[in-house]
Every structure is written in structure tokens, then in C-alpha cells.
Structure 1
Amino acid sequence: MSFLLDGLRALTWQQVVMYLVGIVLIWLAIKKDYEPSLLLPMGFGAILVNLPLSGVLDQTLQGGISTSGIIQWLFKIGIDASEAMPILLFIGIGAMIDFGPLLSNPLMFLFGAGAQFGIFAAILLASLFGFSLNDAASIGIIGAADGPTSILVSQILHSKYIGAIAVAAYSYMALVPIVQPFAIKLVTTKKERRIHMDYNPSSVSKKMRIVFPIAVTIIVGFVAPQSVALVGFLMFGNLIRECGVLGTMSDTAQNNLSNLITLLLGITISFSMRADQFVTVDTLIIMLIGLFAFVMDTIGGVLLAKFMNLFLKKKINPMVGGAGISAFPMSSRVIQKMAMEEDPTNIILMHAAGANVSGQIASVIAGGMVINLVTQFLK
């Protein structure tokens, strides 16, 4: 009986808090349908890794016997040693993305860049709170609005807050329908939100669709070499989609591969959600900075559109600029919903989709640039 009670004796209040965190994440996934493929395994994993003497973590038992825990092993192999899981996930993401709306209106490229403002604003804010440069940069990348990028950057920069960063990134991605309308309405008028935009897309040839991922990979390789793993696998997935001769592989990447990696990534990242590391004041600050980053991302894209309108005859609905974040396709759908709430005849979805896929590219480039800048500075 004494052996059976060892787990209860080892229980701490911080672990109880993590059980509650895990339950909240599971509730958001099931009840609210917020990023269920990620929040549910993360929530369940948070419970698993915080059970006293948990068998999912490496342990040394009585008598000096060592055991390997499956979640800790997955973290070491799939994230810590190689960053393989978040990178492989980009193949599936790339296979899902249609760059047609962006290629037919290249102006939308600018909004992907403008909506990364939150990254650098958050890095500055995190530095003011006393975080080290590598931790501040890792926290700031929450503003990329892209979970795999956040995980990869924080791991490469050896941040000790990878768990909090992952939870913040995926939680706010799930809350885009709440966060973005609030941010957009802060800096736009009703008249601006009612601006109509004609959609007359130029045809995008198959040749252009094939050349695009190859060209982006090469250009990014020279401009931001630390982004090559992210952008390269994203563009490889898109090339599989667009080449026209790998239909089965494209379907596999979009469905089986993405689902499998997402499932494993969600439960594996819970290794960094152990109570002794997660239940701290720093975690709360990171969550607040992450919210700030998302808001500033949206505002940065919107303000860029408003600035461009000073020089354009055909005005851009500034909400389209807010779709330049990487949360694809959720952000573009949110923008369209807001447009129709202001005017049921206003259809700007394809413009927003162009900005949205631009944000996907811009976010991974920004992640590579942050890695490069920080590593160069620390040298």
C-alpha cells in the first residue's frame, strides 16, 4: 500500500495546476473546436507528463534501473536533435496552399511582410521584461502566427520556454476569430471596412505555379539561409501539389502526413509543459506578450494598407492587410466574415486569401531571419 501511495505523496500543487491547464486545452479543442488536432494532444500530454513518477518521462528506479519515457524520447528525436517534426509538417502545409490568389495579385506580397511587425515589437517588449536575447527572440516569434515556426525557432535558439511559447502560439492561432476583429476595429473606421474591391484575377499558368516554389526557395536561400529548412519544405509540399504528376502523394501530404505529424507534435511538445518549468510568472508574461504580438501583427498589416491607400486610386480594404498573418486559412475567413457584417455584398475573400498565403511565406522567412540575427549577434 505504501508503494501505491508514492504517487500521491509526490504530487505538487504546480502539477495540479497543469492538470487544469490540460483540461482547459482539451475543453477548447472539443467544446469550442479551437485547433482540436493540436490543442487536444497538447492538453492530454500536459496531464501525462505531470503525473508523479510518470512513465512517459525518463526515470531512474530503485536499484539504479533506468527507463526511457516515450514522450521524452519523441522530444529528443523529433524536436531536440533534429527539429524534424515541425519541419516535416511544412510539407503538408505547402501541399494544402493554393498560391493562385497571390500570384494573380502580387501586391498582396506586401501584406505578408507588413503583418510580421508583431514579431519585432514582441521581441522588444520581451527584452524590456528582462528576458535574454535568445528567449526574447523565441517569444517574439509567437507573432509569426505559426505554431511549427515558433517551436522550431525556440528550439534552435535553445529557449527554456518552448512549452509556454508553443501553447501561446497555438492558443492565439485558435483565437484568431476573437483577436483579429478586436485589433482591426481599433484602427479602422466603419467606412474603411466597407470598401469594396474588384476581383479580376489574371490567369496563373501551370508553368508559373511550378516555377514559383522553386524560385522562392532559391531566393530565400540567398536572402535568409536559416529559413531554407522551413521555406524549402513548405515549397516542396506546394511543388508536389502543383506539378500534376504526384496526385496521390499530394493527397497523402495534405491528409495522412499532416495528421500524423500534427498528432505526434502536439503530444510531444507537452514534454516542455512540465509543472516545474511551466507554472511560473514568466509563463504568464509570455502569454501576454504573445497576445500583444498577434494584435500588433494585425495592426501592422492594416496600417500598411491604409498607408498604401494614400497613393492608390482604387482603394484597398485595410482589413485585407490584417490577413497577412500566417494563420491560414482562418484569418482570410475572419476578414471575409467581418466584411459581410459591414456590407453583405462585400466579397473580399480572395484578396484576403492572397495576403494570407503571403503571410505563410513571410512568417517562415522572418523566423529564419530572427535565428540568423540572434546567432550572429551572440557570436
Structure 2
Amino acid sequence: MAEPRCILHIGAPKCGSSALQAALTAAPDHRDSSGQRYRYVGTGTVEGRIYPLYGGVVRRLGRSSEFGYSCWPNLRGLNLPQSGAADPVWAALQRVMQNATRQNHVPMLSNEGWIGAAAAFGQGFLAKPGRRAEVVAFVRPPLDWVNAAYWQWGVWTGYGFRDWLRLSKMRYALGEQLTQWAALDAVTLHVGGMGQDVVAGFGQRFGLDLASGQAVNSAASPAFIGLQLRHRKFRRDGHDSAVEFVLQRWCGRYTARKPWAIAPEDIAAVQAESAADVAALLAVCAPGDAQALLQDPRWLSAEPYHRSTPPAPLSAQLEDREGLAELHHALLAGLRAAHASARSKPPVLPPTPAVSADLQVWDAALVPALEALIAADLAVRNRLVFWRSKARDLAGIYQRLKAGLRG
């Protein structure tokens, strides 16, 4: 029996991956109009071995996870296929395809870091004769992406945008990476833009009814980033982002101003440095995908950025008192929602300070509110795990009783 095709969502980072993973985790099983079954595959790891997970198990993992979703791990030998041959991801992917062949479904797998792993996939998983993959990537214009990358990773280094960009050697390379994927014979490449709803866009490509939810891992507000920078117990570095998922889970209507780090004098330089990569990206897109991307003028022009209000200094954005007030109100509302879900009473917390209050006064109100929200979120997730385990225990007892009665 021939293998079905598989769908690999490969990113890019900071391009809606968490939102898509959360939506697929919440609803992992689908059928298209022809009746073909599609299954989102999550993972569990035990003693270094990766196990594919399906259906209700994936949904439960998402609900009990601090991140709210299940996805695949990245490769340890990312651009070194010869040294990555023993990576446990490969064995797990083989089991996914064996299951898909037996059960006649199309597996959907996701990791936003896979965008840089074309060489490894081409010489490993996708090298099997007859294997076919629909590879899906979502992208955003260079200036937007580099700005998002700074607030995700760079700001935690203590450097301003320009110094971080120089010292980290961070560059926009999505076109280069997608060119490598497009060159693989087993791959059909689909490219979508962040200007659309990523969840709906993914569903439309494959005829799946995917409901869009709230943004997941979207850009944190400057006020929230500033709070975490002043109190690093909430976030140690650019990769320690769990607390931001907690905030978004309970404060989904918190619509604070988004941060911007690129000074007007740096806009032209960033766009010029990325021009060749943008051309490469557009060249590997299907004509319809390229046309859709170019509906956004920011791909080829710096003018939309120059029309925007110049960014305030970094310290002013991180300590903006109106932003702190918005954050505090959002935390209190989220805390009430979390305790309502946990069926418990919220703690008594300091009131919202006056907008003109000192930063220390604001932090004295914000820190206990955020600590309380984190604790309430953990209580809700632990409660879900507890009652699921009790349900499994009762089901096991029931089956043993039935067996005993039959015997």
C-alpha cells in the first residue's frame, strides 16, 4: 500500500506558529470534502524516545500544558544530516508514516524550527522513494520579522536593537531557507503571509474547518516586557516564555500597544540587507502565493514604516505608566477568570496605583498580581490533570469489575 502524503508545517518562527499549533491541538482530527481524514500528531517523550500522540491525548496535553499546545521537537543536528541520523525525531516520524499508511490518514506535523532543516529532511525522512510532503510556511516582511525577533530574543540580552543585531549576527534568511525546501523533489511548498489569519489560511489550503482562536504567543506589550526585565524570575532569557502564554490564556482581550525597536535611520539599512533574500523567497513561491504576499507593500517598500510614528526610547516604552495601568487591569481581569474556572476565590491584592506613581509602586502592585495569575493557572491545569486521571482510574476499575463478573 502506498504511503499517504504528509503535511509538515515548518514555521517560520514569529510567524503565527503557536496559534496554529494551539488550534490543531484543540481540534486534531479533520476530514476534507472528499472524506479524506487528516490527523494532527503531537508527541510525548519517555527516556529519550519520542512517541507520536493522537486525538484526545493531544487535546488533553494542550489543555494541561502551560504553552497550550503540543508540537514536535526540533532536530539536534539541525544542518548536519550525517550527524543527525540517530536523532529520535527520525524514528518517530517513521512510526507516524506507518500509522498513517495502516489507517489511511494524512498526518500533520509542526515545528517552527524545521524551516532551517531542509538538508536534514532531504537526506533523511524525505529521501525514502515515493514519500511526498506538503510543506507549509508562513512568513512576514523583513522589518516586521526582525523587530519581532528583537522583542522575543534580543531585548533580554540588555542591548538595544542596533547593537543586538550587530553582535548576534541575526539576519533575515527565510528566502534562503525556503529555497532549500523547494529544491527537494518530495516537496510541494506552500507559503502564506502573516497578514492573513494563519489558522484559517492553513485550513483553507487543505479544505479543513479550522476555527481561529485568540492570538497565541503574539508580541508582548512593552509594559509586560519591562516588568519581566525588572523581575527576571518571571523570564530568564529569550527562550523562557511560558509566563507570556499564561497571560494570553487568561487576558486574551488585553490589546496593549505593540513594541517597535527599529529607529527610522535603521529602516532602509535593514530593508536593503534583506532585499536579495526577499527576491529569493518570492521566486520559490507559487504564483498565487507570491501575489498574495505582495498585497502587503511592506515587502518591497520602506515607505509604510516611515509613515508610522517614530518609536519612543526603549526605556520609555518599558516604563510607560499608561501601559502599566492597562497591564494591571488585564491581570486583575485574567485573575478573576482563572479563579472562576478553578472555582476558588481570588486573593486580596494591592489596588491599581495612580498613573503618575513611581515605578517601584507599580511593581509592588503588578508582581503579586502576576504571581497570583501564574498560581491560579497552575491550579486550573493541575485540576484538569487530576480529574482526568481519576476518570481513567474509574474506567480501569470498571473494566476489571466487568472481567471479574464475566469470569
Smaller-chain TM-score range?
under 0.3
Task: Give the TM-score of the pair, scaled to structure 1.
Answer: 0.21
Larger relative contact order (CA 8 Å, sep ≥ 6): 1
Structure with higher helix content: 1
TM-score, normalization by structure 2: 0.20
Which structure carries more strand by proportion? 2
